[in-house]
């Protein structure tokens, strides 16, 4: 397929904010896409080159892109930077400058989607001497042959900032419409209206597509299977070493509400203040993944040994929580004490001695070739109790209580808090595992006010003694289509010194590689870094795209274990806003 066809779709998607219209445009495009192109096209539609769980990164900084534009257009870097400051979008800069580029290219050719995809993917495999020059050559080759609009989206894809508003929901529905629209009598009537002759059939096919995505975390393989037929789509299964999005809990205010949601009796478990680890094993090989789907096997070699020695089975996928503890007292640490281990690539042994973790296993999704996510939770719990040899402060099945007695739960709750935990979990005994969903059959109860997990999307360079640090951070929540909506600015809760907690220097180090544009002291950031925030109140506000603002927001934790797509939703913000008004 010609890349220009895809680019024209990007443009149409960018021009509309209507979700149904986006879904229609996507579905019509997917209908005409050939089988051999569908996988890479669906990745490109998301502004991706690899599935979410793939560790490969293209590793291209803004400075390298400036040089590539310079090489392909003949325009000086100084002039390119001036354009960048005006627009704040390197994609628009490339579009504008390619339009008036000085060099006449004799060897340019029509770009195909495959050519663009292959060139950009190659960037991830380059390393060693001459890497920068090789990357420049691959990018400049594309820009030299590109039309202005193509250049715009090549650069945006490189920066992982496509800006066309294609969320998971729209893409999932587009695959359903494209693959099964005729079977369910679907008609697109307008940007706000569709007609479906059989809603039951529609829900059936939508559930099949959603299941396939839940098991793969990859719409490209889902769309490819759907292109082949319903049978291929239904045959998609779990695979070891391909991590799933974890199941998430809703919050309840008290024990009574916990039982109302999960039934009686329910499974009650300690809620630890750690971070999720998904353990995958096949034969003698073990890999560990965070809830962001990032592999952390090298960072936690002791956990690999715990699993190897104390869990029976040739192949399995376990869901667990790694809780840090004080090696002297044995008392659990808050998450922030061990968060630095997640990205540590050196001094691993020293860090594991200083900040040891205990793996608390609470679910199993796959065992010796069998997918277990549809099995009742109680059966899954009984299985892990048979498979795991408990070794306190190394690995164990998470402490639990199955009961319908509120007084027993109250005591269990107090015991959990005394041990240094966050609170307790309620789980419905006959419930399935739902990857990537916040479900009503698993809820959490904590004694503190509801905090928010928000993404940092902007900041300002500090002044005075903070001149080299980013500060005054702009925060955002997320809507159902994956768009980030600003909800206020925050500057408190960050420390001056790293030994006191998350510091301005540490946050700046995390955020600097994510800078998309700068205007004066203001910086726009790629939405990657998630922080946990508390606040005094949520207020209505026309100043932010969410329509809300946080009063006196304060950072609690840097959540390196959170993926930006898992941050707090605008629906949760609205619920909390109206909830506080009732009090």
Q: Which residue has the tokens 């190897």?
A: 308
How long is the chain?
Answer: 583
Which residue has tokens 């930077």?
81
- For 494, the token pair is 């960050």
271 catalytic? Reply is yes
* Contact between residue 303 and residue 288 where contact means Cβ atoms under 8 Å apart: yes
Show the beta-strand stretches assigned E in 266-355: 266-271, 275-282, 285-289, 315-324
Cα(60)–Cα(387) distance, rounded to whole angstroms?
Answer: 44
CA-nearest of 158, 271, 191, 214 to 434 is 214
User: Three-state SS across 5-24?
Assistant: HHHHHHHHHHHCCCHHHHHH
Token pair of 115 as six digits: 């050519």
Rounded Cα distance between 327 and 39, Å, is 48
Three-class SS of residue 53? coil
CA gap 222, 583 in Å, rounded? 45
The alpha carbon of 142 is separated from its chain's Cα centroid by a whole number of angstroms, namely 29
Taking the C-alpha atoms of residue 304 and residue 322, their distance in angstroms, rounded to an integer, is 12
Residue 410: C-alpha distances to residues 415, 419, 423, 433, 480 (Å) = 9, 14, 11, 26, 36
Q: Please give the Cα distance from 182 to 174 (Å, whole number).
A: 13
| 515, 62 Cβ separation under 8 angstroms | yes
Catalytic: which of 22, 227, 245, 271? 271
What are the phi and psi torsion angles at 99 (to 5°)?
-60, -40
395 beta partners: 359, 391
Let me know: does 507 contact 494? Beta carbons within 8 Å: yes
Both structure tokens of 561: 């274990």
User: What are 441's two structure tokens?
Assistant: 């059959």
- Catalytic residue numbers? 271
């Amino acid at each position: 397929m010609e890349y220009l066809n895809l680019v024209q779709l990007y443009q149409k998607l960018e021009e509309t904010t209507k979700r149904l219209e986006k879904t229609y445009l996507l579905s019509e495009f997917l209908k005409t896409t050939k089988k051999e192109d569908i996988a890479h096209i669906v990745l490109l539609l998301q502004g991706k080159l690899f599935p979410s769980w793939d560790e490969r990164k293209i590793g291209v900084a803004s400075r390298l892109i400036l040089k590539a534009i310079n090489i392909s257009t003949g325009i000086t870097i100084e002039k390119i930077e001036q354009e960048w400051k005006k627009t704040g979008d390197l994609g628009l800069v490339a579009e504008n400058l390619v339009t008036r580029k000085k060099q006449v290219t004799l060897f340019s050719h029509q770009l195909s989607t495959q050519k663009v995809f292959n060139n950009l993917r190659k960037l991830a495999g380059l390393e060693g001497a001459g890497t920068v020059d090789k990357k420049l050559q691959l990018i400049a080759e594309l820009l030299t042959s590109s039309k202005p609009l193509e250049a715009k989206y090549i650069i945006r894809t490189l920066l992982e900032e496509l800006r066309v508003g294609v969320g998971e929901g729209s893409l999932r529905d587009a695959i359903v419409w494209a693959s099964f629209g005729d079977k369910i009598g679907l008609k697109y009537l307008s940007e706000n209206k569709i007609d479906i002759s059989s809603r039951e059939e529609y829900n059936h096919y939508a559930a099949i597509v959603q299941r396939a995505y839940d098991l793969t975390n990859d719409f490209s393989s889902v769309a490819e299977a759907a292109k082949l037929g319903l049978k291929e789509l239904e045959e998609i299964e779990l695979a070891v070493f391909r991590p799933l999005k974890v199941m998430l809990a809703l919050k309840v205010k008290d024990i009574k509400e916990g039982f109302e949601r999960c039934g009686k009796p329910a499974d009650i478990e300690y809620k630890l203040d750690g971070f999720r680890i998904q353990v995958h094993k096949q034969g003698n090989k073990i890999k560990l993944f965070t809830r962001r789907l990032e592999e952390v096997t090298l960072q936690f070699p002791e956990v690999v040994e715990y699993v190897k020695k104390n869990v029976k089975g040739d192949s399995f996928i376990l869901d667990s929580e790694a809780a840090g503890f004080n090696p002297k007292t044995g008392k659990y640490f808050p998450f922030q004490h061990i968060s630095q281990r997640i990205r540590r690539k050196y001094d691993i042994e020293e860090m594991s001695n200083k900040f040891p973790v205990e793996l608390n296993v609470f679910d199993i999704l796959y065992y010796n070739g069998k997918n277990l996510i549809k099995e009742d939770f109680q059966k899954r719990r009984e299985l892990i109790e048979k498979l795991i040899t408990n070794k306190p402060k190394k690995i164990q099945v998470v402490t639990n209580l199955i009961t319908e007695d509120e007084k027993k739960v109250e005591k269990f709750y107090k015991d959990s808090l005394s041990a240094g935990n966050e609170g307790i979990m309620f789980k419905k005994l006959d419930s399935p595992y739902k990857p990537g969903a916040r479900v009503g059959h698993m809820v959490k109860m904590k004694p503190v006010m509801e905090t928010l997990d928000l993404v940092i999307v902007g900041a300002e360079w500090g002044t005075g003694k903070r001149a080299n640090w980013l500060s005054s951070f702009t925060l955002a929540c997320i809507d159902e289509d994956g768009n980030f909506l600003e909800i206020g600015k925050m500057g408190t809760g960050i420390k001056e010194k790293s030994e006191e907690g998350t510091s301005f220097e540490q946050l700046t180090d995390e955020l600097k590689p994510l800078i998309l544009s700068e205007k004066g002291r203001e910086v726009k950031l790629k939405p990657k870094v998630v922080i946990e925030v508390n606040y005094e109140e949520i207020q209505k506000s026309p100043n932010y795209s969410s329509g809300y603002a946080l009063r006196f927001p304060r950072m609690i934790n840097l959540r390196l274990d959170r993926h930006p797509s898992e941050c707090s939703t605008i629906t949760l913000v609205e619920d909390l806003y109206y909830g506080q008004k009732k009090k």
